[in-house]
Amino acid sequence: MDSKGVLEYARKHEAKILDLRFTDLPGLWHHISFPIHQLEESSFEDGFGMDGSSIRGWASIHESDMLLVPDPKTAFMDPFRDVLTLVMIADVVDPITRQSYPRDPRFVARKAEAYLGFSGIADQAFFGAEAEFFIFDNVHFDQRQNEGFYHIDAEEGRWNSGRAEHNLGYRPRYKEGYFPVPPTDHYLDLRTDMALKMESCGLNVECHHHEVATGGQAEIDLRFDTMLRSADNMMLFKYIVRNVAYQYGKTVTFMPKPLFQDNGNGMHTHQSLWLKGKPLFAGDQYAGLSQTALWYIGGLLKHAASIVAFAAPTTNSYKRLVPGFEAPVNLAYSRRNRSAAVRIPMYSASPKSKRLEFRPPDPSANTYLAFAAMLMAGLDGIENKIDPGEPLDKDIYDMSPEELKNVPSLPGSLEAALSALEKDHDYLLKGDVFTEDVVRLWIDYKMNNEVNAIRMRPHPYEFQLYYDI
């Protein structure tokens, strides 16, 4: 849809309000609303003014004025508002220079796509992310000087099996929640409503299902799209999932590991490159891959420790990324081993379906930054012909300690991942896709606001371990 098409779309749907969305540094959507009459064809060049001084990771007070320039390709009608509301995702522009704002995460993803074309390797990168989430009935948490706690509950949680009042049973066992039919699957209708809302907003849903964990873990899969559009789609995906659940009196979390000793939320990310309408990852090598695909894997594996600073970007992420639980911590590739960081799906022999799946990411990621980092790492692998080594096709639990010590693994904490990013980010700077300022800003923000904040606070389990020491 172009600018004229958006104006006609707004008239057709009798929109009364324009809502512009943009993303802060950690990856949350923000918005500002205008009466629809303020939207004109010139708005798609002139933009709308806003104050960016209080947006996390953005400008300081003395340079806070920003412009939001709507992208007409992202228009949809918000299905949750009482007043008919037209929504568009906006790019952030400096009002003085009229240049894209370097700290806008969406601009980083735009530059990554531009660098792909400039490289001559491919002209399209397709990404498809599988974001998992939990549907809970209640959550309360707090952190003060004298206390810190959280409590979550879900009607479907196996821990409620011993409840005395109104207990009808039918709850997935821990780690046995994959694909049960109702009534064990409590949320089939809720997920269907989410999927249909997504379709009404222009997203292409492939399927939805219950996930492995108890307590309402779910997955809804979107069809792949270009890298930028897939990042946009994931922002809309989260918005719809949260709001549908809210309408049902439920709460959703994309936290990587909200439940102890059950599966966490991943965001396995499928990737492929195309040139002039032809897939570049299909070939006659391992698992039907091309040499180009193997080099791309080599880049992902070489830079994985720094990639996860963006793709698994919370302290909670590393409670999911631990050995066991099929956690993809091993820096290897395989067509069947789900503990490998890179998996090659074998569902179809069609060259158009040939892709690779990078498994460490989780849905706490800012998808604009995470997808851009993955693409830049893969391109670095192709440009430098990085050998990914031998595939890991053995069962990891059958491997001897001698064999295991030769398989490198991901960092064990966010702090270690940020340290890896500090040492290894030259590949991100190519084509000015990431800047030193953005990389430094990310490291400082995460260290000061998350790593050090967690380090300074007592953990509830420490009282069980140490109170009587």
Candidates 71, 91, 113, 130; catalytic one: 130
| 96: helix, strand or coil | coil
The Cα-based distances of 428 to 57, 115, 158, 329, 438 in angstroms read 19, 11, 44, 22, 10
The CA dihedral of 192, 195, 201, 206, to the nearest 10 degrees, is -140
Q: How far apart are CA 308 and CA 414, in angstroms?
A: 8
Q: How far apart are CA 225 and CA 229, in angstroms?
A: 6
Q: Are strands 85-93 and 17-23 parallel, antiparallel or unpaired?
A: parallel
| 183: helix, strand or coil | coil
- Residue 338 is among the residues annotated as catalytic for this protein: yes
Q: 42-69: b or e for each residue (b if 16 or more CB lie within 10 Å)? A: ebbeebbebebeebebbbeeeeeebbbb
Taking Cα atoms as reference points, which of 18, 139, 182 lies closest to residue 86? 18
- Residue 144 is among the residues annotated as catalytic for this protein: no
Candidates 21, 110, 268, 320; catalytic one: 268
Phi-psi region of 268 (alpha: psi -120 to 50; beta: other; left: phi over 0): beta
Q: How far apart are CA 154 and CA 190, in angstroms?
A: 14
- Residue 81 is among the residues annotated as catalytic for this protein: no
- Residue 219 is among the residues annotated as catalytic for this protein: yes
Candidates 19, 113, 211, 362; catalytic one: 211
Q: Which residues contact 465 (CB under 8 A, 6 or more apart)?
A: none
- Residue 19 is among the residues annotated as catalytic for this protein: no
- Residue 41 is among the residues annotated as catalytic for this protein: no
Candidates 19, 155, 219, 262; catalytic one: 219
- Residue 51 is among the residues annotated as catalytic for this protein: yes
The CA dihedral of 183, 188, 193, 198, to the nearest 10 degrees, is 170
Tokens of 145: 């000087």
Strand-pair partners of 151: 140
Candidates 357, 362, 380, 415; catalytic one: 357
Candidates 78, 132, 232, 450; catalytic one: 132
Candidates 2, 45, 51, 437; catalytic one: 51
Candidates 163, 338, 455, 457; catalytic one: 338
Q: Which residues contact 48 (CB under 8 A, 6 or more apart)?
A: 20, 32, 34, 38, 67, 68, 69, 70, 90
Strand ranges in 58-174 using DSSP code E only, listed in sequence order: 65-70, 76-77, 85-93, 124-136, 138-143, 148-153
Candidates 158, 171, 186, 359; catalytic one: 359
Catalytic residues: 51, 130, 132, 211, 219, 268, 338, 357, 359
